[in-house]
Amino acid sequence: MSSVSMAVDFAGIKLKNPINTASGTFGFGWQFQNFFDVSRLGAITTKGCAAEPWPGNPKPRMTEVRGGMMNSVGLQNPGVRGMVAESGEFLADLASKGTAVICQVAGHSTAEYVAALELFEELCPWAAAFELNVSCPNIDQGGAAAGSTPEGAAEVMRACRPVTKRPLLVKMAPVRLPEIARALEAEGADGLTVINSIPGMAIDVHTRRSKLSKPTGGLSGPLLHPIAVRMVWEVCQAVDIPVCGVGGVMTGEDAAEFILAGARAVSVGMASFPEPDAAVRILAELEAWAESQGVRDINELIGAFEC
């Protein structure tokens, strides 16, 4: 039994520990239940869902790169109703065991975000919070990500905020972070997830074609962890609402970097692919690190980075 209290408050969500899972890397939780008891985690964030099912991009959708991986899944999802029918019972049970279930909301326009969030609000009473993925291409803005500008991100938050009284989080694209974070805070965001994957390219030099079905994809993994730590620190300096750090967390010490940079929670992403029980190992390593720091409560270490 750890001698350090690991409980944290993230945007009003009481977490028994800071470890969360990154949306899109952990399915809807039940896919990992045979590997470890998912209820040991503080939270999970479900794969993003829209009001209606999305087919996603053609194959190939994923490829390994040196130090990480790239994906171009295209947010394939069963829609909110399909997710509830398939996974709702498991997620409700998980929530009853004290693990916060954060449902990610996807959309290609402000109206689509609102429609999806309305369904989540109606059909998911067990959800502790909702996370808006504002990195989706916005069809009303010529394909640019909704969250790529302060104005676009603020528009989505302004429209979604009245739909729910539950905590509303935003997963941010890795662009113009401090100013977009301030715009989201001003429109009522309760917390921020920093960062989403970084756009990249991987070319097969033998075929001279992309290793994915699209020319570009989202880069994730340990190679971008130092970038993510810097971005988390910058956002924590810019706003007063809590931040969940995500990006290349492979060990407890990686998670600890985010905590020291100011994050109140940490999401495990790519690590779950090669090691399905990585999140619970990282939790144990984070607990051991907190004990080594001689504190009684992990909250004493949040933002304790010294310049």
Cα–Cα distances in angstroms (integers) from residue 289 to residues 207, 210, 295, in the given order? 46, 41, 10
Task: Determine the length of the chain.
Answer: 307
Of 278, 194, 273, the residue nearest 229 (C-alpha): 194
- CA 194 from chain center: how many Å? 8
Q: What residues form DSSP beta bridges with 245?
A: 194, 266
Of 103, 136, 236, 244, catalytic: 136
Cα–Cα distances in angstroms (integers) from residue 128 to residues 120, 131, 241, in the given order? 11, 10, 17
Determine if residue 7 is left, alpha or beta; phi over 0 gives left, psi from -120 to 50 gives alpha, anything else beta: beta
Contact by Cβ (8 Å): 196, 218: yes
Assess whether 244 carries a catalytic annotation.
Answer: no
Give catalytic residues, as residue numbers. Answer: 136
